Amino acid sequence: MIDLSVHIGSLALQNPVMTASGTFGYADEFKEICDLNDIGAIITKTVTPHPRPGNPPRRIVELPYGMLNSIGLPNVGVESFIIEKMPFLQTLKTNVIINVAGTDEEGFVFCVQRLEDVSGIAGYELNFSCPNVKGGTSFSSDPGIAERVTRNVRKTTRRPIIAKLTPNVTSISEIGRACENGGADAVSAINTVVGMAIDIKTRRPRLSTGTGGYSGPAIKPIALAKVFELSRCLSIPVIAIGGIACAEDAIEFLIAGATAFQVGTVNFYEPDATMTIKKGLEYYCQKNNIQKIADLIGSIQLKEMAK
């Protein structure tokens, strides 16, 4: 038996496979396809203090190497979330992490406060990085804001908190350090990369909002570089996100320093990807005589690196 377990602060995961927010619904949509209890942690679509309709169509564009979205944070709001979505999530044995956001700084605290006495929640992911709403990335573009919001949430809960970061900044490690100083238990990186597509017949942007968030295999090298940078400068765990579509992709991120990883865009075209990836991790460990996957974390060999 290979030991796939990893720890994110006080949070024990049976394996490092997590689902990325917004790509796995509220998990019940996947119950016929995946054994949900075999996933290390499930992260739900972002919930906000009040209901939101999201952006007008068109909200998704498929591109050759990835997906462009401008969904705009549609959700039922935290009150209805608790009534409509939590009952199913509470039946799961795996860790359920609720991704929260606010349109202002207080919105994060509001959501977490409201969720505090709800059972079946293993932790919170703070969405500091939605590229598709006004000011959505501001929480992880300014270190002062990132630290302040993290600290205010930290005062509100003893549950683990993960700060989800945007790659669309000059120095992601500066923002990561701010979240660590504010009391985050981990950071997750990266949210989507700002991108655009234009219809050359109409000459109009293909998304209703012009630009959107780009995800999928094309962004994997960008994500890997950010995860490597973060894991070298932070003391808290880094959770990798960005183009992970198979076990080999995930292993690269673990070697680069990630403690766990999130599976995102691939869920749309290969909905059992979490299961395949978990099996692939076991297979890789067996083949390479690795008893504990945690031994892989940060095992990158840098002796020949020129800079």
Residues near ligand RRO, by CB under 6 A: 22, 46, 69-73, 127, 129-132, 191-192, 213
Report the alpha-carbon distance of residue 188 to residue 162 in Å, rounded: 6
Cβ at position 219, least distance to ligand RRO in Å? 11
Torsion-angle region of residue 65: left (phi > 0), alpha (psi -120 to 50) or beta? Answer: alpha
Q: Which residue is nearest to ligand RRO (CB)?
A: 213
Report the alpha-carbon distance of residue 161 to residue 158 in Å, rounded: 8
Distance of CA 190 to the CA centre of its chain: 7
Alpha carbon separation from 177 to 14, 106, 174, 187, 192 (Å, rounded): 27, 21, 5, 9, 20
Cβ at position 163, least distance to ligand RRO in Å? 12
- Give the catalytic positions in this structure: 130
Least Cα distance to 172 among 224, 214, 123 occurs for: 224
Cβ at position 134, least distance to ligand RRO in Å? 12
Tokens encoding 156: 């509100």
Nearer to ligand RRO, 70 or 274 (CB): 70
Nearer to ligand RRO, 70 or 94 (CB): 70
Amino acid at site 168: N
Alpha carbon separation from 206 to 66, 132, 211, 212, 266 (Å, rounded): 14, 14, 9, 10, 22
Nearer to ligand RRO, 14 or 127 (CB): 127
Nearer to ligand RRO, 15 or 140 (CB): 140
Q: What are the DSSP calls for 211-253, one per residue?
A: EEEEESGGGHHHHHHHHHHHHHH-SS-EEEESS--SHHHHHHH
Cβ at position 15, least distance to ligand RRO in Å? 24
Nearer to ligand RRO, 133 or 297 (CB): 133
Nearer to ligand RRO, 214 or 284 (CB): 214
Quote the crossing angle between the two packed helices 105-115 and 143-156, to the nearest 10°. Answer: 20
Cβ at position 56, least distance to ligand RRO in Å? 12
Cβ at position 171, least distance to ligand RRO in Å? 20
Q: What is the DSSP letter of 54?
A: -
